[in-house]
Chain A
Amino acid sequence: RKEVEQDPGPFNVPEGATVAFNCTYSNSASQSFFWYRQDCRKEPKLLMSVYSSGNEDGRFTAQLNRASQYISLLIRDSKLSDSATYLCVVNTNAGKSTFGDGTTLTVKP
């Protein structure tokens, strides 16, 4: 079993749609959680951290459920520019970052 698991998709949605991605992790001692975005043939870039109480950044909302070891990302009012691969990342207290394999999103006109 992988340490961090994501639904690979692909998710194909029309502009303006709401889409949600899920991620589960196996290490109950994990400390910090992030979503990264990776465009085709580019490096991953931090999208947002995920806090225990949940957090929002514009059209993006992240949730964490420590009991179920589950993280989610919700994108509202999808834009064409949101098309990318979204990577779930889990950190240990030693700063080791483990990545999921990513979920691919394509937003169509």
Chain B
Amino acid sequence: EAGVAQSPRYKIIEKRQSVAFWCNPISGHATLYWYQQILGQGPKLLIQFQNNGVVDDSQLPKDRFSAERLKGVDSTLKIQPAKLEDSAVYLCASSPGDRSNSPLHFGNGTRLTVT
């Protein structure tokens, strides 16, 4: 089966600019996650979708970050405006459903550098 697809792989922007990331989950996976991973730390959940509805966005900095999954398939994550501390790897993951015992399948991630 095809894995989780993410683009771009790398992005370098200046602070206060905008950036968008795209994710296409594994076909048939209802749940999609965006994680932020800062160097030396574990992934931190930004937002979790179940189909096209938001399940958890409690750790999403909503003043600058937004995400959507309009048709319940692919998703975009946007940062506007970016700050230096947003430099991180943004990981998209999907799982078959909302059951607690479903492991996550990750994409390759987008490495963002904000200068």
Contact = CB atoms under 8 A, between A and B. Distances in A.
Contact of B108 (A31, A43, A94): A43
Contacts of A34: 103
B71 interface: no
Interface residues of A, number: 24
Contacts, number: 60
A96 interface: yes
B17 interface: no
Contacts of B56: 94, 96
Contact of A92 (B31, B91, B100): B100
Contacts of B41: 101-102
A95 B40 CA distance: 25
B72 interface: no
B100 A93 contact: yes
Given A95-B31, A95-B95, A45 B106 contact: yes
A18 interface: no
Interface residues of B, number: 27
Interface string A31-45: 110100000001111
30 contacts: A4-B42, A31-B100, A32-B101, A42-B108, A43-B91, A43-B106, A43-B107, A43-B108, A44-B43, A44-B106, A49-B101, A49-B103, A89-B104, A93-B100, A94-B56, A95-B48, A95-B50, A95-B55, A95-B95, A95-B98, A95-B99, A95-B100, A95-B102, A96-B45, A96-B56, A97-B33, A99-B43, A101-B40, A102-B41, A102-B42
Given A46-B103, A94-B100, 11 more contacts: A43-B106, A43-B108, A44-B43, A44-B104, A44-B106, A92-B100, A95-B95, A95-B98, A97-B33, A99-B42, A99-B43
